Amino acid sequence: MQRIGVLTSGGDSPGMNAAVMSVAKSARYYGLSLIGIKRGYNGTLCKSHNIEDDMVELDLDTILDIADQPGTYLRTARCLDFMRPEMRVHAANNIHEMGIEGIVVIGGDGSYHGAMELCELGVPCVGIPGTIDNDLAYTEMTLGYDTAVNSCVDDIRAIRATSRSHDRPAVVEVMGRHCGDIALKAAAGTGAEICIVPEVRWSVQDVADHLSRLVAGGNPRATVVVAEGAWDAMQPFAWQHFLRDQGVNVHDDDVFTTNVLAKVLKYKCHVEARGTILGYTQRGRTPSAYDSWFAFEAGNLAVNLLRNGIGNQVIGIKDGRVYYMPISEALAQKRDFNLQLYNMINTL
Ligand code: F6P
């Protein structure tokens, strides 16, 4: 083997650059040339006027300079074209023409599906789970999740300081797509009183009752941490009707958001609840020591697997150690939500 490629795909996550750095270091060590594929799978389609905008030889010195930076130097994207079989064949041909004999794919489950398809077309791929969401069952942690949780903990602590100063509750929304892990760990890490996640069905009335009990018990400054995917698990509630009854101006096409939940709680619990959506700050942080360590080991293992002709694998963490397994088996695993921690947060 003489040349491999590396790409980052899906939402960026802290640690992606560190993983690319590790791949670059290992490639250099084993005498392999390394091609950086730009903007996820888009780069494999070679649609730019200039090939350098799609695939570029990676220079280790440049990569060393950006290894501890958040974001992704290679850029990232979700590539809809790659869903089409004829485009994937085109991509595989381009990859073969470039002399790339294997690819390290750093991304989430969508990126893993793309990697599996490429393997079937004769391009060995190894995946590193780059996503803040922690939504891949086969690994204890995804790359970027630890940093995202730390970011949320910092921000929620700041929000709790101002909540405390004004004696008013806060509703804080965190990311995670359909997975409540960021919310769960961030809530536990800040002593937040209520946590709402997509994995557990919930009702606005239960949350309001809980908050009212806290207020009556002498805690008017509680924090409700809500995962962005939790709206799908909300029991039906005629909130537009309810808010109109309180004299609030609501349009028929308004949607239920964190700020709406804060407003509903305001009227139901008679408190000045305020909403905050933490958003992209969670993705754009410098990787934590944990994520940087994971990136380092994973990048090296990925290169070693490809060198040894072992493709169609993904790398994860089991019992605190970095390991690998076939992509299809990893994707078939069912996530195990930590209900015990959820109950602990919401009942203590
Ligand atoms: O998958 C990572 C993630 O940050 C999710 O938590 C979030 O739902 C999504 O990406 C946001 O994606 P976009 O960058 O397209 O807004």
Is position 21 within any domain? yes
Ligand 1: which atom is nearest the Cα of residue 229? 8
Same domain for 203 and 301: no
Q: Judge contact between 131 and 143, C-beta under 8 A.
A: yes
Q: Are residues 213 and 275 both part of a single domain?
A: yes
Residue 192 lies in a domain: yes
**Alpha carbon nearest to ligand 1 atom 12, residue:** 11
Residues 308 and 210 in one domain: no
* 168 and 220 both lie in a single domain: yes
How confident is the model over 182-228, as pLDDT tens digits? 999 999 999 999 999 999 999 999 999 999 999 999 999 999 999 99
Question: What is the tens place of the pLDDT at every residue in 224-235?
Answer: 999 999 999 999
pLDDT(50) > 90: no
282 lines ligand 1 (CB under 6 A): no
In a domain, 173, yes or no: yes
Does residue 231 sit in the same domain as residue 172?
yes
Q: Region 122-131: what's the mean pLDDT? A: 98
For the chain, the average pLDDT equals 97
Is the same domain home to 47 and 172? Answer: no
In a domain, 348, yes or no: no
Q: The CATH number of the domain where 12 resides is what? A: 3.40.50.450
Indicate whether 13 and 95 sit together in one domain.
yes
Using CA positions, which residue lies closest to atom 8 of ligand 1?
177
155 and 273 share a domain? yes
Pocket flag, ligand 1, residue 101 (CB < 6 Å): no
Atom index in ligand 1 nearest the CA of residue 12 equals: 2
Q: What is the pTM of this model?
A: 0.96
Please, which residues bridge with residue 3 across strands?
33
- The domain boundary, picked from 262, 283, 304, lies at 283
Asked if the structure places residue 342 within a domain, the reply is no
Instruction: Give a yes or no: residue 338 inside a domain.
Output: no
Domain count, the chain: 2
Q: What average pLDDT score do residues 239-248 get?
A: 96
Which residue lies with its CA nearest to atom 4 of ligand 1?
11
Distance 309 CA to ligand 1 centre (A): 33
279 alpha carbon – ligand 1 mean position (Å): 9
Domain end marker among 250, 283, 316: 283
Q: Is 173 left (phi over 0), alpha (psi -120 to 50) or beta?
A: beta
Query: Are residue 236 and residue 154 in the same domain, yes or no?
Result: yes
63/159 same-domain check? no
189 and 249 part of one domain: yes
Distances (CA, A) of 262 to 75, 123, 168, 205: 36, 50, 11, 13
- Ligand 1: does its nearest atom lie under 6 Å from the Cβ of 131? yes
Q: What pLDDT, on a 0 to 100 scale, did the predictor assign at position 68? A: 92
73 and 47 co-located in one domain: yes
Q: 270 C-alpha to center of ligand 1: Å?
A: 34
Nearest to 226 by CA among 200, 196, 189, 206: 196
Predicted confidence (pLDDT) at residue 51 exceeds the cutoff of 90: no
CATH number of the CATH domain containing 203:
3.40.50.460
In this structure, what token pair is assigned to residue 283? 């993705």
Q: Can you give the residue range of the structural domain that contains 16?
A: 3-144+287-332
Residue 344 maps to a domain = no
From 248, 266, 283, give the residue that closes a domain: 283
* 74 and 95 Cβ atoms separated by less than 8 Å: no
Average of per-residue pLDDT across 334-340: 96
Q: Is the CB of 176 under 6 A from ligand 1?
A: yes
- Give tens-digit pLDDT for 65-108: 899 999 999 999 999 999 999 999 999 999 999 999 999 999 99
Does residue 212 lie in a domain region? yes
